[in-house]
């Protein structure tokens, strides 16, 4: 299968239909097709060869989406970068992926000066803004000065993109997703999200993330319309819903919560909005009830997955978003396996467990990644016995609904963003005053959870919480840094010497339920 | 992708749901799963090895459908045989495929005596009837005496089935369809046919044919219900619609015509019937109007394709089954390309033609066959330049609708069955009195077309039409044999010496439109 097939289908079925709406800019599928064929030619003319990597560091826009198609058309591999990372982290990813080109928008062009002299492989900067940028090739120039080229024919199990995930063991890993992976996910998404050729999808969650990308191929196959906002802001999203007649959107529950708490939400005409998909965590009952009261016609669908699964592996349909009746209780699950996938819960020997018993969730099928970029050992571990090991603990009920007990055992979900505790611990631990530390998630009314570091200081050393937090900000992205630091004499450990994070968490969660999906 | 994944999904999501209904027999997905795992074990215990071929010669039944899953579970390759073929043709297919096992039902066990001493590779006959059959292994015995085995893991581009098509050049060719082919078609079918987990599909068209098989994987993925009638009979089908609460069915237009002409159709409660899919030829307007008047709530979907495309490549949605308004006119088309496919119209150099211009229809994508079994030259021709050459002439309109001008140039469609004129001509031509002949389709009110042979006799020889027809019956299936023979002095030819069949056909079709899809 070929990622570009979806575009050819859109062009064939709906040539005059609207492909993209980004602010005041709008393109038909015919125009979009023309633009991406010029972009592909322009990129290759920079001296790139098939399978070279092209990184993207940008807020959401139609130009970002053009690259999603221009790169596979040219046989190049996309590397979408997490926009929340610190410059040092971005530099690591650019070097790790061996990217030859970095495409950057107005917002992130400010970061370029910090990269100087530190990039091992990047030869060209492409500037995606409207004007010129010193030392960079203008994206619009690249297009207007290029003739179109034909599809280079990349497809099948060739890598289409490398999507970096924060690794639980410290360094981020590049997840290699193939054309087959992404198209198979697209087919599952069309079914699971109920897209039609009339769908107008708002890209509101960051486009670097596989969760937003999940909608790319499927909606394009149908010749639907992609609408973009630079980033999630409740009023902007509500305005765009109305202005661009948006039918579908993908959000995290935190964003849904922000939307339904927008004070004048009832002044927006949301009658054409059909469905809100959400992922990252289950829908809190209170948020669902509030949303159902405000926008009762809108359907909710949960998608659960991970980048390594391209990314969707289970779907919870709207009909299970109820709090009474025979379907009640399913809302706390992550749903049932996607159309072409397989999922099961296994013990430590990879043997399937009986229904109801908690074990590790593993998955198989056409959306399982090819592997981690240049990480053979981690790839072999993750894909042991032919199944993707999610690292998530959960169980399955008699109807095939998967309940996640602990998303990754100790992962913290703050504002819909995954924070891997080990990564934070590694940063904290670099501080000379720190002897040992454990990082946990504690309740936060706005963000779901916030990051807390529990620190055992070195004898004779002392440091304030402010010191440690600002020290962390030099090493990792702000959203990953602890909001607070607690100093203790010792950490509770198991007989085998493993830190018992549950014991640390429990006092903070007393009387409330942690959203551990 | 694995054909068996669909079954595992059905079992996981709907273990107590009804999998199959065949007459008085009914099995849940749990029972079905148990049965096919025993059948797989029993088949392997006959001495079969992975990739061995197992042929099936049977009317429709749940046991046929069990083989559809037991064979890939065991890593075996299915060879479903056309039930309308003459014994000599069946013998050819069994030997050509190298089948080691032949599964045969009560109806076709009568043919076994004609096979004696003529089968080169078949070692075991499995009898699918209820009782014992001399010299054959009983299917139910095979199951009850076997323990279950685990999935052998066949999948991806391994061949799952060999489906024989009547070749236009004489001998039938075995189309090799892989697991990936059939699953990709299943995903397209779920979308195109609008299956849901509540769908109950009636297998009324013969199950050996890819057209019926098109529904197998997709419906199973959803955990829907498969209902079987041994063969198409209007009253039986209508009875089964009501009794088994059928929601979906696949028919040829001839069958739809028979249904709507059943005199007491209005006494059947068809309120749960959702959709009739049809293929093989476009829906005659008169049939559509009659059906819409009788069962206005039922949706119609046309599927166009060929065995080599697993088989669906275009779908005409219900909304285009109208005779006025902006969508009128599309009903004469074969619809638009399936979700994961590519289709185009090309000239003799495989260059894409502008919209509206007639050329050859070619297709690409995950449903394109692996090739013809042991026919490398024909495979290379059919798949030249990476596209499947359908042999159908047609054009595409501005909205991507494909209009087939001549399905295969001179193919005859009689009662929904394809009759390849060359194959019939080869048979007629063997008669000593025949000098030259051309076989064409002429109008028949019941069957759409009937086969007519136009014969130039050898000088000094003479033969009656009855002679020639009964001579043909010794060589080819009855439905392929001419219904009439016309004797002429010479056949009209082009400058290049090619017989002009249009000139022969025209007088018979004066004042009517031939359904040449």
* CA closest to A363 among chain B residues: B5
Range B157-160 contact pairs with CB under 8 angstroms and sequence separation of 24 or more: B157/B370, B158/B51, B159/B51, B159/B77, B159/B370, B160/B3, B160/B71, B160/B72, B160/B77, B160/B78
pLDDT digits (tens, 9 = 90+) for A63-85: 999 999 999 999 999 999 999 88
Could you give the CA distance from residue A302 to residue A281 in angstroms, rounded to a whole number? 9
Residue B500 pLDDT exceeds 50 = yes
Higher pLDDT, A491 or B157: B157
For A177-234, the pLDDT digits (tens) are 999 999 999 999 999 999 999 999 999 999 998 888 889 999 999 999 999 999 999 9
Could you tell me how many helices (H) and strands (E) chain B has, helices first? Answer: 17, 26
Give the integer Cα–Cα distance in Å for B229 and A209. 49
Q: Looking at chain B, which residue has its C-alpha nearest residue A194?
A: B191
pLDDT by residue (tens digit) across B280-300?
A: 666 767 788 889 899 999 999
CATH code matching the domain that covers A342-406, chosen among 2.30.38.10, 3.10.20.30, 1.10.150.20, 1.10.150.130: 2.30.38.10
Tokens coding A309 = 């699964």
Query: E strands, A155-274, where?
Result: 159-165, 173-178, 200-203, 225-228, 248-251
CA torsion sign for A327, A333, A339, A340 is negative
Q: Of B139, B144, B142, nearest to B128 (Cα)?
A: B139
pLDDT digits (tens, 9 = 90+) for B170-192: 578 999 999 999 999 999 999 99
**Residue A13 to residue B400, Cβ atoms within 8 A:** yes
Q: Whole-angstrom Cα distance, residue B442 to residue B450? A: 5
pLDDT at A344 over 60: yes
What are the structure tokens assigned to B146, written together?
């076997």
Question: How confident is the model at residue A84, as a pLDDT?
Answer: 85
| Nearest to A246, CA basis, from A187, A288, A198, A210 | A198
Cβ proximity of A184 and A5 under 8 Å: no
Q: What is the mean pLDDT of residues B102-106?
A: 98
Nearest to B187 among A187, A343, A399 (CB): A187
pLDDT at B496 (0 to 100): 45
- Give the minimum alpha-carbon distance from A195 to chain B in angstroms, rounded to a whole number: 10
* d(CA A339, nearest CA chain B) in Å: 6
- pLDDT at position B497 over 80: no
Alpha helices in B116-248 (DSSP H): 139-144, 179-193, 210-213, 216-221, 234-243
Smallest CA–CA separation between A373 and chain B, in Å?
23
Task: Answer whether B337 sits within 8 Å of A9, measured CB to CB.
Answer: yes
Rounded CA separation B481/B439 (Å): 10
Spell out the residues 6+ positions from residue B267 whose beta carbon is closer than 8 angstroms to its own.
none
Which ranges in A222-310 belong to alpha helices (H)?
Answer: 234-243, 253-260, 285-294
What phi, psi does A437 have (nearest 5°)? -155, 155
Cβ-Cβ contacts under 8 Å, A15 against chain B: 398
| The predicted structure's pLDDT at residue A257 | 81
Which CA distances in Å does A15 have to A29, A32, A34, A222, B364?
5, 10, 11, 12, 20
- Residue B438, classed as helix, strand or coil, is strand
Least confident of A96-100, A302-306, B358-362, B511-515: B511-515
- Decide if A402 contacts A338 (C-beta within 8 A): no
Q: Looking at the complex, report in whole angstroms how far the Cα of residue B399 sits from the nearest Cα belonging to chain A.
A: 5
- Summary mean pLDDT of chain A: 91
**CATH code for the domain defined by A412-509:** 3.30.300.30
Mean pLDDT of A31-37: 98
Nearest to B144 by CA among B34, B21, B20, B19: B34
The whole-model pTM stands at 0.83
Residue B494 has pLDDT above 80, yes or no: no
On the question of pLDDT at B276 being above 50, the answer is yes
Interchain CB distance below 8 Å, A336 and B221: no
CB pairs under 8 A between A and B: 72
Summary mean pLDDT of chain B = 91
pLDDT at B207 over 50: yes
Q: Which residue in the set A184, A187, A399 is minimally distant from B13, CB to CB?
A: A399
* Cα dihedral: A188, A189, A192, A193 (round 10): -170
Greatest extent of chain B over all pairs of C-alpha atoms, in Å: 72
CATH entry 2.60.120.650 includes domain B340-406: no
**Selected residue with higher pLDDT from A347 and B33:** B33
List pLDDT tens digits, range A47-65: 999 999 999 999 999 999 9
Condensed to tens digits (0 to 9), the pLDDT of residues A404-459 reads: 865 556 778 888 887 877 778 878 888 989 888 889 999 998 888 999 999 989 88
**What digits encode the pLDDT tens for the residues B402-453?**
988 655 567 788 888 878 777 788 788 889 898 888 899 999 988 889 999 9
Q: Which of A164-178, B350-364, B379-393 has the lowest mean pLDDT?
A: A164-178
Token match 């043997």: residue? A351
Which token pair is A273?
Answer: 């909005």
The answer to whether the CB atoms of A13 and B337 lie below 8 A apart is yes
Question: What ipTM is given for this predicted complex?
Answer: 0.82
Q: What is residue A3's predicted lDDT score, i.e. its pLDDT?
A: 97
Comparing CA positions, the residue from B65, B59, B35, B56 lying closest to residue B225 is: B65
Q: Is the pLDDT of residue A497 over 80?
A: no
Return the CATH number of the domain spanning residue range B3-318.
3.40.50.12780
Task: Classify the C-alpha dihedral B483-B489-B491-B497 as positive or negative.
Answer: positive
Compare CB distances from B339 to A14, A221, A365 and report the shortest one's residue: A221
Bridge partners for B434 per DSSP: B457
For residues A281 and A414, what is the distance between their CA atoms, to the nearest angstrom?
10
pLDDT at residue B243 above 70? yes
Bridge partner list, A346: A352, A360
* Lookup result for tokens 């090799």: B176
Which of A385-399, B14-28, B267-281, B500-514 has the least mean pLDDT?
Answer: B500-514
- Per-residue pLDDT of B17-73, as tens digits, reads 999 999 999 999 999 999 999 999 999 999 999 999 999 999 999 999 999 999 999
pLDDT at A442: 93
With H, G, I as helix, E, B as strand and everything else as coil, classify residue A151: coil
Kindly state the average pLDDT of the residues A164-189: 86
Q: How far is residue B4's CA from residue A69's CA, in Å, rounded to a whole number?
A: 33
Residue in B9, B191, B336 closest to A337 by CB: B9
Pairing of β A336-337 and β A312-316: antiparallel
Sheet of strand A200-203: strand arrangement: A25-28, A18-22, A225-228, A200-203, A248-251, A275-279, A299-305, A312-316, A336-337
What's residue A167's pLDDT?
46
Q: Would you list the domain boundaries of chain A?
A: 3-318, 342-406, 412-509
Averaged pLDDT for residues A140-165? 95
Nearest Cα residue in chain B from A153: B386
Taking a C-beta distance cutoff of 8 angstroms, is the pair A315, A338 a contact? yes
* Res B498: pLDDT: 55
* Mean predicted confidence (pLDDT) in A138-165: 95
Give the residue numbers in A contacting B (CB under 8 Å), as ranges.
Answer: 1, 5, 8-9, 12-15, 183-184, 187, 190-191, 221-222, 336-337, 339-343, 365-366, 396, 398-400
To 10 degrees, what angle do helices A179-193 and A3-13 make? 50
Of B5, B342, B399, the CB nearest to A342: B5
Of the candidates B364, B361, B339, the one whose C-alpha atom is nearest the C-alpha of residue B352 is: B361
Q: How big is the CA angle at B1 (ends A517 and B7), to the nearest 5 degrees?
A: 75
Query: What is the reported pLDDT for A169?
Result: 45
Sorting pLDDT into bands at 50, 70 and 90, what band is A168? Answer: very low
* DSSP helix/strand/coil, B265: helix
A311 cis-preceded (ω within 30 degrees of 0): yes
Q: Are B33 and A370 in contact (CB under 8 A)?
A: no
Q: Are B12 and A339 an interchain contact pair (Cβ–Cβ within 8 Å)? A: no
CA distance A296 to A316: 18
Backbone CA torsion sign across A134, A138, A141, A147: positive
Contact B62, B228 (CB under 8 A): yes
Burial B185-223 (b: 16+ CB within 10 A, else e): bbbbbbbbbbbebebbbbbbbbbbbbbbbbbbbbbbbbb
Instruction: Please judge whether B339 and A187 are an interchain contact, meaning their C-beta atoms are less than 8 angstroms apart.
Output: yes
User: What's the rounded Cα separation, in Å, for the pair B505 and B484?
Assistant: 14
- Among the residues of A138-198, which ranges form H helices? 139-144, 179-193
Neighbours of B373 (CB within 10 A): 21
> pLDDT digit string (tens) for A222-269?
999 999 999 999 999 999 999 999 999 999 877 888 898 898 999 999
Nearest to A329 by CA among A349, A311, A356: A356
Residue of A nearest to B191 (CA): A191
Dihedral angle sign, alpha carbons of residues B457, B459, B464, B467:
negative
Q: Is B458 exposed, middle or buried (0-12, 13-18, 19+ CB in 10 A)?
A: middle
């Amino acid at each position: 299968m070929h990622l570009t097939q979806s575009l050819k289908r859109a062009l064939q079925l709906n040539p005059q239909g609207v492909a993209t709406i980004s602010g005041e800019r709008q393109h038909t599928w015919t125009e979009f097709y023309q633009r991406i064929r010029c972009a592909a030619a322009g990129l290759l003319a920079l001296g790139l060869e098939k399978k070279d990597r092209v990184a993207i560091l940008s807020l959401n826009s139609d130009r970002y989406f053009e690259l999603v198609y221009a790169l596979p058309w040219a046989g190049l591999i996309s590397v979408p970068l997490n926009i929340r990372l610190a410059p040092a982290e971005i530099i690591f990813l650019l070097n790790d992926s061996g990217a030859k080109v970095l495409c950057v928008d107005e917002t992130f062009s400010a970061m370029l000066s910090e990269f100087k002299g530190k990039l091992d492989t990047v030869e060209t900067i492409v500037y995606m803004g409207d004007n010129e940028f010193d030392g960079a090739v203008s994206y619009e120039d690249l297009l207007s000065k290029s003739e179109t080229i034909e599809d280079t024919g990349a497809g099948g199990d060739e890598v289409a993109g490398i999507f970096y995930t924060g690794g639980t063991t410290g360094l981020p890993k590049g997840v290699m997703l193939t054309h087959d992976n992404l198209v198979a996910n697209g087919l599952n998404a069309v079914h699971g999200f109920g897209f039609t050729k009339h769908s107008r999808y708002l890209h509101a969650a960051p486009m670097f993330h596989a969760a937003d990308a999940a909608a790319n191929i499927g909606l394009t196959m149908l010749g639907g319309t992609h609408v973009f906002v630079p980033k999630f802001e409740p009023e902007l999203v509500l305005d765009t819903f109305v202005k661009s007649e948006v039918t579908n959107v993908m959000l995290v529950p935190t964003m849904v919560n922000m939307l339904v708490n927008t004070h004048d939400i009832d002044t927006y005409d949301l009658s054409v909005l059909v469905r809100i998909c959400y992922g990252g965590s289950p829908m809190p009952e209170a948020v669902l009830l509030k949303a159902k009261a405000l926008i009762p016609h809108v359907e909710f669908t949960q998608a659960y997955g991970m980048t390594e699964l391209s990314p969707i592996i289970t779907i919870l349909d709207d009909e299970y978003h109820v709090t009474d009746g025979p379907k009640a209780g399913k809302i706390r699950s992550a749903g049932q396996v996607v159309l072409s996938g397989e999922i099961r819960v296994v013990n430590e020997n990879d043997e399937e467990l009986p229904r109801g018993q908690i074990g590790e969730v593993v998955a198989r099928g056409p959306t399982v990644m090819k592997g981690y970029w240049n990480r053979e050992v981690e790839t072999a571990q993750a894909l042991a016995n032919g199944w993707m090991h999610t690292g998530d603990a959960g169980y399955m009920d008699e109807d095939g609904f998967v309940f996640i007990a602990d998303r990754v055992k100790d992962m913290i979900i703050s504002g819909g963003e995954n924070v891997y505790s080990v990564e934070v611990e590694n940063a904290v631990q670099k501080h000379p005053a720190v002897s040992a530390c454990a990082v946990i998630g504690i309740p936060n009314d706005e963000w779901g959870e916030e990051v807390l570091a529990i620190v055992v200081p070195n004898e004779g050393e002392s440091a304030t919480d402010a010191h440690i937090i600002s020290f962390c900000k030099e090493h990792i992205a702000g959203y990953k840094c602890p909001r607070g630091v607690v100093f203790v004499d010792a950490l509770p450990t198991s007989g085998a010497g493993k830190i018992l994070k549950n014991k640390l968490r429990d006092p903070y969660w007393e009387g409330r339920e942690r959203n551990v999906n």
